[in-house]
Structure formats: structure tokens, C-alpha cells
Amino acid sequence: MNVVAETQARRFALIGTPNSGKTALFNALTGSRQKVANYPGVTVERKSGALRTPSGRVVSLVDLPGTYSLRARSPDEEVTRDVVLGRFVAEPPPDLLLCVADATNLRLALRLVLELKRVGRPLLLVLNMIDIAKRRGVEIDLARLSAELGVPVTTAAAVRRGGTDELLARLDELTAPDGLPAAGAPDWQVPSTGDLRAAQREADRIIKLAVRLPPKPDTLTARLDTVLLHPVFGLIFLLALLFVMFQGVFSWAQPLMQLISGGFDALGGLAGTWLPEGLLLSFIKDGVLAGVGSVLVFLPQILILFLFILLLEDLGYMARAAFLMDRIMGGAGLHGRAFIPLLSSFACAIPGIMATRVIDNPRDRLTTILVAPLMTCSARIPVYTLIISAFVPNKTVLGYLGLQGLVMFGLYAAGIVSALAVSAAAKFFFWRDDPTPPFMLELPDYKLPRPRSVLMGLYMRIKMFLTRAGTTIFSMMVLIWFLASFPRPPAGATGPAIDYSVAAWLGRVIEPVLAPVGFNWQISVALIPGMAAREVAVAALGTVYAIEGGKEAAQQIGQTLAQHWSLGTALALLVWYIFAPQCASTLAVIKRETGSWRWMAITFGYMLALAYIAAFITYHVAVAFGAG
């Protein structure tokens, strides 16, 4: 067997504590040779890639979820434990464990190394971010550290050019035919609290012998944290940052939105020039272009939101936001670690719900899953923007704040407050005697965002959105166009053609149920395909009103709605979308993550009830003030 064929069968696994730079190292080692899937039988993401050593040997590298121990107190940590111990039937155990540690903070990482040694598999300790450690004056005696641990040690700087050369050289030696030592007999069992304390004391002893720290570290991170983690000024900064983000989502995207809208207008004009009047032209203009175009026009806003989230993650601010929000969230029955999944849900509830795997306590994880859909995801942006643009004046208040952006911020704030309120209610009625465990979180250093990482993240989100637009949204728009176009009106009929369609019949069947909240039959029709994806409701409204009123341009939909709706109806629909469970994919993920149809049904039921009650109150209050 040749060397390449032999080493291709070898599997190395990256393991490390959160914020150790493990994923950055994985990206540096594998580049574009990556695959993402789920582990067999579970929903935890599996990232693997091909690593090529300097001599050309190829190794399969797996990036395991971050963990502090093999105790496995969350689904992510269970996967890491099972891969390390070789419990997955579908794949062999790793031939080598690469334990990645933050060279500036070795305490928790060394405790993990001591635990991994008992597994008996070949182990290599990789001190990542060694460049930052040296810059801070941290001196590490690698030979002494290796001798005390009984484990080979190497260094890396994942984000630096050439920063993985030393690691690759060591891996080249280990991938030689006789380079890896044989796996020993595993001597691992679930560690008790006493075992962990003993391991931590041993780690502290080794650090005293092998690591010399500067007497008084004065870092930029420490100086920034004196302000950004202040209980008052830190919260003010966080709220101001979120406010700027929501203002940017509404204001900064306008030029690109107008460009996209103009492009679809031009395509509609081209279709009108080349196609005769009839069903085909109606399908192209009113179904495809008016439908899909009225959703794609909001892509710039969604990208701005994702850009903010990616930058905050790369900067290292996300963990600090969770720390600041812990006291507020704890009062509502949520664990501080729930902040990051909930903030991720601003982009999409699906990855937010999946991110709850980092929460150890099952009750805290379930509560976070149940309230994550209340956060204002990017799919709501098209609905919010359309209605705000049509019914809220584009003017400034208090001298410099845009009123439309202020309303958008208010809708996001309403989602946050409602999530906290539902969590507090769940704690009061169901988990009153189950105290929230203390919040412990390791804060990473501040780092400049890596442009390549941010651009790759944006690219993946653009791809996901366009895939969604080309599949779910397109198929829903074909369906709604068909329902709104057939049957055709009888000869000599008066009035809009849509009045004789299946869509009108369905809308009028549902209308009595929704009439008390101010919704007409057109809104009833739009809410049906909106169950597939929230943003489809905008495209459905565009199709319905384009057929009825002959307006196919995306920016004209709002003008049409302003002619047909009262302010009370518009406000009620905004409030409806704060709560309504109109996303089948999110409900499916809830079922998958909880392993139960029951919790999916509970989520759907309580959100639908909240949506109806809130919209009912909003509409009737608006009517009482003359906005009906």
C-alpha cells in the first residue's frame, strides 16, 4: 500500500475548549477542502476536511464541537465525547487527538488535556495564538510543559501567514508509516466534581512550573472591558449598538434595494414587450417577477443584519453581550448562555435553536428553544419594511433619529420583551422550584475581524437566501398565482378577475376568523403560503394586488396597501408578525431538537394565540383612536 493511500485512511480530530481558536485553525489547515453535514442520528453539525502535510500525505481532519470536559452535559459535548471514545458505529475512532489551547489562557485547556490522556489515544497539544501570548510577555517552556503533561506540544498562530508551519511539520512526522504511537488502554470514566477539582489543581501546578506570566498584564482587552463590561455603561453601549444596527438595516440598504427593484421593473417591461397579453405574461410579470422580486429586494437589509452579527462574533463581543444580559435574562428564567442563541435568532431562528446545544441544563435549553422564534428573524424584515414604508412617514424625530428606523427598533424590542415575558411565565408556572444555575463564561480577547472569514460567512448566507428564493418562495408564488388566476371569470363578468378565483374563495372562507383583528380576505390569502416562510406573505400580497390592480413593481405594493388598508389593519398585521409562528422549517427544527411533536405543537399554539390576542387589542385600540 502506498503512503498516500495509507494516510488517507487516517483521521485526526481537533478538540478544545470554546474560544480557543479551534475552528480558525481548522480553516487554516483545510482551506476550501471542507464538508459540512450532521453526525448520524443527531442534529449536531459535523465539519470535516482534507489536510495535506508538507510531504504530500493526506489526512482527514474533523473539527469537534468545543468542550471543557468529556462529561457531556449538552448535545454538542455528547458528540465530542462519543467521537473521542469511538462510540460512533458509522465511523472509526480518530487516530490522533489534536487538543487546541489558547496559549494566553491555559488553565481550563490543561485540565481537558489531563482528562484526554486517560482515553488512551495518541494526543498532541497545540498552543494556538502563540503570537498573542508572546506579545503580551507570556513565556512558555514547551519542553517542561511537555514533560509534565507527558504529551508532545507544538505551537500555532492560525490567523497568521505561516502560522501553522510548525504544526504541519509535526503532523508530517506523525503521519509517517511508524510515526503514530499505538493507542493505549482507555482508562476513562465520567469524572466526578472531585476528580475535576483535582485535575484543575494539577493543571495549576503545571502552569506554575512551565508558564511565566507578566506581573501586571495591561492589554487593550482589559482596558476596553473596564467600560464595555460596566453594569451601566456596558448596557448603554450594547443598546446603542443594537439601535445602530436596526437603523442601518432600514436606512443603509436603500440604494441597493432601489437598484434591485429597478432591475425587476426592467425585466417586467421586457416581458411586456416580448410577450402578448394573456396567462403567460401574467405568470411571468405578476407571479414570478412581482413575487420573487418583491422578496429579493430585501436582500441588502438581510445582509446588513448578518454583517453586524458576523463582525460582533469575530470581534469577540458576543460573549460580553451574553455576560451583560445575564442578570436581565436570569430574572426572566433564562440562562445567560441563552443570549447568543437568541441573538443568532435575529438572523434566523433555525440556527438560533440549534445553537441552544451549548446550554447544559435541559430546562434552560428547552425554554430557550420555545422563545427563540419570538426574536425578530430576517424573514420578518420584508413584511416590516413593506408596512412601515407604506404607513410610517419618512421623517426624523428628536433632530436626527429616523422615525421608520425607530419603529423597526420598537418591533425588535417587542420581540425581545415578549421572549423574556414568555420565559418568565414558563418559570413561574412550570419550573418555579428549579433554580437557574450560575452563569460561567470564558471571555475571549478582542480581535480584529478577519475579512476572509466575514466574507465567507456573508457568501454562505447569500447562497442560503437565494436558494430559499429559488425553491420555497418560487414554488409558493407559482401556487399563489395559480390560485389567484383560476378559474377565469365568466364572459361579461365585471370586477377584478381575482374575485372569481380559488384564492378569493379560500380568503373569504378564512376572513370571518380574522376579521375581528382587522384582516381582509387578501391578507388571509397571503398568510396561507406564508406558513412555508414568513417573507412569502409579501410576495403573495404583491401577486394578489398586482393581479387586482395591475401594479407589478415591488416598490408599488406599499402604495397599493395604503389605498386598501386602514392604519389599524397595518398596525395589527405588524403586531401579528411579532408573534405568529409562520415558518414551517422552524417548527420542524423544534420537533427535531426536542425529539417531540408535543413541544412543536405547544410552540405553534401559544404563538398563534399571542398573535391573535395582540393583533385584536392593537386593531381595536387603533379604531378607538380613529385609525380604523
Distance CA 182, CA 184 (A): 6
CA proximity to 77, closest of 66, 88, 91, 62: 66
Give residue-wise pLDDT tens across range 259-306.
887 888 788 888 888 988 888 887 887 777 766 776 677 788 778 877
Give the three-class secondary structure for 510: helix
CA proximity to 366, closest of 434, 307, 445, 300: 434
Please state which CATH class domain 3-212 belongs to: alpha beta
Residue 231 burial (C-beta neighbours within 10 Å; 0-12, 13-18, 19+): exposed
pLDDT at 610: 95
CA proximity to 63, closest of 92, 39, 88: 39
Contact predicate 412/376, CB 8 Å: yes
Distance CA 476, CA 580 (A): 19
pLDDT at 36 over 80: no
pLDDT at 545: 74
pLDDT at 5: 40
- Least confident span in 173-177, 265-269, 457-461: 457-461
75 phi and psi angles, rounded to 5 deg: -60, -40
pLDDT at 551: 41
pLDDT at 249 over 70: yes
Beta bridge partner(s), residue 100: 16, 126
Calculate mean pLDDT across residues 370-386.
87
Contact predicate 362/436, CB 8 Å: no
Contact predicate 219/146, CB 8 Å: no
Q: At CA 266, angle to CA 260 and CA 272, rounded to 5? A: 140
pLDDT at 239 over 90: no
Question: Where does 393-520 have alpha helices with state H?
Answer: 403-429, 451-468, 474-485, 502-514
Task: Pick 555 or 82 by higher pLDDT.
Answer: 82
pLDDT at 552: 44
Distance CA 550, CA 548 (A): 6
Contact predicate 34/48, CB 8 Å: yes
pLDDT at 328 over 80: no
pLDDT at 377: 83
pLDDT at 527: 86
39 phi and psi angles, rounded to 5 deg: -65, 150
Q: At CA 186, angle to CA 180 and CA 189, rounded to 5? A: 145
Contact predicate 125/16, CB 8 Å: no
Contact predicate 219/104, CB 8 Å: no
Distances (CA, A) of 116 to 13, 85, 122, 548: 12, 10, 9, 67
Task: Pick 357 or 611 by higher pLDDT.
Answer: 611
Q: Whats the size of the chain, residue-wise?
A: 628
CA proximity to 126, closest of 94, 52, 145: 145
Give residue-wise pLDDT tens across range 78-94.
888 999 998 887 778 89
Task: Pick 244 or 574 by higher pLDDT.
Answer: 574
Q: How confident is the model at residue 203 (pLDDT cuts 50, 70, 90)?
A: very high
Sequence-distant (6+) residues with CB within 8 A of 355 are: 340, 341, 344
Tell me the helix, strand and coil percentages in the chain, rounded to 5.
Answer: 60, 10, 30
Distances (CA, A) of 108 to 19, 74, 113, 119, 150: 11, 18, 9, 18, 17
Distances (CA, A) of 342 to 299, 314, 360, 579: 22, 17, 16, 15
Q: How confident is the model at residue 216 (pLDDT cuts 50, 70, 90)?
A: low
Distance CA 156, CA 162 (A): 9
Compute the Cα dihedral for 268, 271, 272, 278 and give only its sign: negative
Contact predicate 261/553, CB 8 Å: yes
Distance CA 286, CA 500 (A): 17
Distance CA 375, CA 307 (A): 18
Q: How confident is the model at residue 433 (pLDDT cuts 50, 70, 90)?
A: low
Sequence-distant (6+) residues with CB within 8 A of 402 are: 247, 250, 251, 394, 395, 396
Calculate mean pLDDT across residues 486-497.
78
**Max avg pLDDT among 56-60, 216-220, 337-341, 478-482:** 56-60
Give me the chain's average pLDDT, please: 82
Q: How confident is the model at residue 439 (pLDDT cuts 50, 70, 90)?
A: low
**Max avg pLDDT among 86-90, 137-141, 473-477:** 137-141
pLDDT at 171: 92
pLDDT at 8 over 50: no
Give residue-wise pLDDT tens across range 525-553.
888 777 766 777 877 787 777 544 444 44
Sequence-distant (6+) residues with CB within 8 A of 548 are: 496, 497, 498, 522
pLDDT at 250: 66
DSSP, res 496:
-
pLDDT at 370: 92
Contact predicate 59/53, CB 8 Å: yes
Q: At CA 364, angle to CA 16 and CA 378, rounded to 5? A: 80
pLDDT at 427: 81
In the numeric block, the cell 410552540 is attached to: 603
Q: How confident is the model at residue 44 (pLDDT cuts 50, 70, 90)?
A: low
Distance CA 252, CA 301 (A): 8
Calculate mean pLDDT across residues 159-188.
84
Give percent of the chain with pLDDT exceeding 90. Answer: 25
pTM (2 d.p.): 0.67
